[in-house]
Amino acid sequence: MEYHHKLLLTWIYGAFAIIHLVQAQPDQQGFISLDCGLSPTESPYTDPLTGLTFSSDADFIQSGKRGEVGNDESYTYKQFKDLRYFPDGVRNCYNLTVNKGINYLIRAGFSYGNYDGLNISPRFHMHIGPNMWTSLVVESESYREIIYMSKSNLLQICLVKTGETIPMISTLELRPLRNDSYMTQLGPLNLIFRRTYTSDDLGYIRYPDDVLDRIWDRYDWIETNVNTTLNVTSSNPFAVPDAVSRFGISPRNSSRPLFFFASPKEKSGKMNVYFHFAEIQVLKENDTREFDILLDGTVIRKSYTPKVLQSETIYNILPQKCIGSCDLDLVQTQRSTLPPLVNAIETFDVLEFPYAETNQNDVDAMKNIQAIYGLDMISWQGDPCVPEVLKWEGLKCSYTNKSISPRIISLDLSSRGLIGVITHAFRNLTELQKLDLSNNSLTGGVPEYLANMKSLSIINLSWNDLMDPLPKTFHDREKNGLKLTINGNPKLCTDASCKKNNQKYVLPVITSTASVLIIVAVLILILVFKKKRSTQVQHELPSRMSINRQTKRFTYSEVVALTDNFERILGEGGFGVVYHGSLNGTQPIAVKLLSQSSVQGYKEFKAEVELLLRVHHVNLVSLVGYCDEEGHLALLYEYAPNGDLKQHLSGERGGSPLKWSSRLKIVIETAQGLEYLHMGCKPPIVHRDVKTTNILLDGHFLAKLADFGLSRSFPIGGETHVSTAVAGTPGYLDPEYYRTNRLNEKSDVYSFGIVLLETITSQPVIQQTRERSHIAAWVGYMLTKGDIENVVDPRLNREYEPTSVWKALEIALSCVNPSSEKRPNMSQVTNELKECLTLENSRQGGRPDMGSKSSVELSMSFTTEVTPSAR
């Protein structure tokens, strides 16, 4: 059971990048502390209560006005004296430079103080990037706090006007945290409360007692207070301060549980609770303190014993859905002689941030355009496209769905007083379809790159001061549908008679003809040389290059034609959107187009192409071709008309449920594909994302394992594992790999075991409403009750050989063993599953009693510990 705690404390992805920040926290390394509205002439200053250094916010926001609450000095901290309010615009945003992929504690403070004399409490929303964080009604002094993993190096904290009142803010603070402490992978954590339990009324505990500058509320709960004068250490990533851990409470009635409750603040209703424990009482020789930790009836740790004078943190991996409120119970075990004890508790809403930020290249381009032309528009704050109701003035964006980054497709900067040449920053808006720069004072020539932007079909440059000949490329594009408007530019020449730089003559036709002949001759020589060189290279390059030539490289225009301009969508994933296409008008294909916001990106795109070029197996999806052209990335696969295994198990495809023999055939074929990767490839390959949505079914229901963007090869030299940042899908991710970052083929075996459990049960991998949320824990729980009938998919109507099903369950459970050493390899799994199919095929009618269990004992222990989250 210690594995549960260890698992949670090994969330080390990105942690090493900030360990030096945590170690240096007493020096406020990495802190951002803004006193909003503070005059720059008074900045910076040291807060007398905390010793924190605060600065003016003037350099972090381009809008708003300064205000003060007056001479009333009843505020707790000096930062609440000043404020910034925002009478103009709907969305006003702070721009903070941070480290991408790092957890930050973000805290905003508010104190209205009737600064405007209206005595009306401001009501407004706060956003982080494009997503709503919280809604506020500011009355007395208060804070809002969230723990959030930054998605880029720019963090935008926005105040959004929602009614007649004016948004305002007093203080904005950022504190870097270690990524292996608070769990933000399933959503940002919005603080509900953070309490240390003591009867001492000495105000808050925060910096410098807490080097992370969390604010701990001293709370006097109606129980028995305990404390110690001894030091309590904290060696885990949470770094709970000694000033917190030296206090705690036990129940007044030692025979009853220690009870708390917490109510979600946000509508998601999902909560994470962090219990902080340390044994701070002197125990007698025969004393034992042991208790179960329950969250709304779900045991998140059994038989827990706090460590003596050492802080330890226990929390739920998966968010708990709370209706109204959640009960937090510490229940004494039968063998314990002492009641439960707790030192502090933190509770958080787990928020859903559904909107992907606008494509980063588009954002960077717009920032450059804004800076080059000095554009000062109040709406140009926050994310350019999202949410759509707050998009920047003059923009139109394409929206596929919330999880895919929008692209800017239209930019209208007409009548904006633009001065200077047409900047090359526009060329980085690669999906731009319409550009309007009319009615400005732009000078210089019309850059040729505008004609080469494939998506750009409407350009309005009228009524500027442009000059020089118009590049011929524009005339060629106009023949292919480009609409170019350039009237009102008297110095701009548009036909062949233009004279550049006041030249008095035109080159003789004979010179032009000679130039053309020379160019043609040079081109012929180049082609001959390239052909000769190509023949030579064929003999020199290794066999892998010959494999490359077997797979066609397509141009983006060919991809557009093959998909009929991306008319039919087959599905969407982390890579992007998958479209239906047709090769030669007869062969159906699937075209996976890389989204600019893809979680995988170019590195994984390249990895998948290279892997599929060198592996060939009937149960691995075949690569027809690929496209890598000017930012357009696409993979062309063989088409699987029968969708994926997940769709059939969930009933999404309709029709009759898959028979047991059909399910066995599919998982056997998938196992054969994995066996080939693990044992037939040199070096071996680990897929890293085995799941039912990546098992495709062709027209004959032949299983094809797909999506190799996360796959990794082992280094040459016989190593048994490779150390790598954890990647995968929540629920399928091997907990040992997650804990150690040591990847080997047994990580795929674990994921396959989850797939096998899904195939048997047709149950979701994670479902909060079950007795055990994770499928492996739930199956183990049901089997200990002897409840086989409620494990197997009821849609099978018991039309299967019971021994075959039991054997398949045993295989699945051996695959998901917490210890990789105790898992079988894929050859063993394949052979065992074939025996299951043989048993099923030999069934001679009748339904044997499902109460007769297999002779193999199921001795594994199942808990929610088997489900870490992916990064």
- Catalytic sites, residue numbers: 689
The total of other beta-carbon atoms located within 10 Å of residue 829's CB is: 26
**Coil, helix or strand at residue 477:** helix
| Contact (CB, 8 A) for 863 and 777 | yes
| Contact (CB, 8 A) for 780 and 818 | no
Phi, psi torsion values for 220, nearest 5 degrees: -100, 95
Distances (CA, A) of 655 to 94, 330, 647, 698: 53, 48, 11, 17
Place of tokens 């109204």: 324
| Contact (CB, 8 A) for 391 and 384 | yes
The counts of H helices and E strands in the chain are 17, 46
d(CA 405, CA 360): 9
| Contact (CB, 8 A) for 201 and 346 | no
d(CA 290, CA 277): 12
> Strand pairing of 32-35 and 53-56?
parallel
| Contact (CB, 8 A) for 860 and 817 | yes
Strand partners, 338: 289
d(CA 155, CA 631): 25
**Within 712-744, where are the H helices?**
735-740
| Contact (CB, 8 A) for 456 and 431 | no
d(CA 160, CA 123): 10
Kind and range of the H or E run holding 21: helix 19-23
Closest by CA position to 784, among listed 863, 853, 858, 852: 858
d(CA 346, CA 208): 19
Q: Residue 293: CA atoms inside 13 Å, Cβ hemisphere, count? A: 21
Classify residue 858 as exposed, middle or buried by CB count within 10 Å of its CB (0-12, 13-18, 19+): middle
Q: Which two tokens stand for residue 382?
A: 């926050």
| Contact (CB, 8 A) for 434 and 422 | no
**How large is the angle between the packed helices 775-784 and 802-815, nearest 10 degrees?**
130
| Contact (CB, 8 A) for 839 and 804 | yes
Q: Which two tokens stand for residue 709?
A: 């963007």
Q: Tell me whether residue 592 is annotated as binding.
A: yes
CA angle 357, 358, 361 (to 5 degrees): 120
Classify residue 842 as exposed, middle or buried by CB count within 10 Å of its CB (0-12, 13-18, 19+): exposed
For 24-28, the CB contacts below 8 A with 24+ separation are: 25/211, 25/212, 25/213, 26/208, 26/211, 28/52, 28/53
- DSSP one-letter code for 817: -
Closest by CA position to 144, among listed 110, 181, 180: 110
d(CA 131, CA 91): 12
The total of other beta-carbon atoms located within 10 Å of residue 309's CB is: 16
Beta-strand (E) ranges in 198-343? 217-219, 224-227, 247-250, 258-262, 270-277, 291-295, 298-304, 312-315, 320-321, 326-332
| Contact (CB, 8 A) for 425 and 448 | no
Beta-strand (E) ranges in 714-840? 722-723, 742-743
Binding-site members for ATP are: 592
Which residues belong to the annotated binding site?
592
